[in-house]
Structure 1
Amino acid sequence: ALSWLAAAGFDPAFGARPLKRVMQRMITNRLSEMILSGTVQEGDSVNVTTENGDIVLIKTGS
């Protein structure tokens, strides 16, 4: 997932500045949806990985 984020969040004109937006869109927003739906609760662990060229969040336990 780190390599994917590094590639998606880098722009030659702006450097790594777009990384924050990519992380928010691909991780923070999805994690928020998981919390709001009750899929993830306090104390749970979530792994961030890539699958088929996309970021995937997987609940791994509590």
Structure 2
Amino acid sequence: KIQLAVLTARLAHMDLALEVSDAAVAELAKVGFDPVFGARPLKRAIQQRIENPLSKLLLEGKFAPKATIHVQVDPIKAPGQFSFS
């Protein structure tokens, strides 16, 4: 959640809010933890699964200023796939 707070703060400077569902946080924790390295890969997981796709959507103009971006993952229908709305 600390790494997500950093991303949330960066988006706040762009007049955007970020809300990450509990399922998405759990998925990030699952893919971002390594028994050898601990939680260090978490930052990379956030970049690959949230920041990079979100950057593309922002460049495409999918979110208006002052929008709240909701990040979800459906562990049953599409495990590991993050959706933004």
What TM-score do the two structures reach when normalised by structure 2? Answer: 0.64
- Kindly state the Cα deviation for residue 2 of structure 1 after the two structures are TM-superposed: 1.0
> What is the aligned partner in structure 2 of residue 35 from structure 1?
58
Report whether the alignment pairs 1:54 with 2:80. Answer: yes
% identity of equivalent residues: 39
Instruction: Report the count of equivalent residues.
Output: 59
2-side partners of 1:54 and 1:41: how far apart? 26
1:3 pairs with one of 10, 15, 26: 26
Structure 2, unaligned runs of 5 or more: 1-23
The answer as to whether partners of 1:31 and 1:57 remain within 8 angstroms in 2 is no
1:1-55, Cα deviation, whole Å (9 max, x unpaired):
1111111000000000000000000000011001100101321111111121024
Q: Which segment is superposed worse, 41-50 or 4-13?
A: 41-50
Does the CA-based 8 Å contact 1:48-1:55 persist in structure 2? Answer: no
Contact residue 49 and residue 57 of structure 1 kept, 8 A: yes
Structure 1 runs not aligned, ≥5 long: none
Aligned-partner SS, 2:82: strand
Please give the alpha-carbon distance, in whole angstroms, between the structure 2 residues aligned to 1:58 and 1:47: 6
Secondary structure in structure 2 of the residue aligned to 1:53? strand
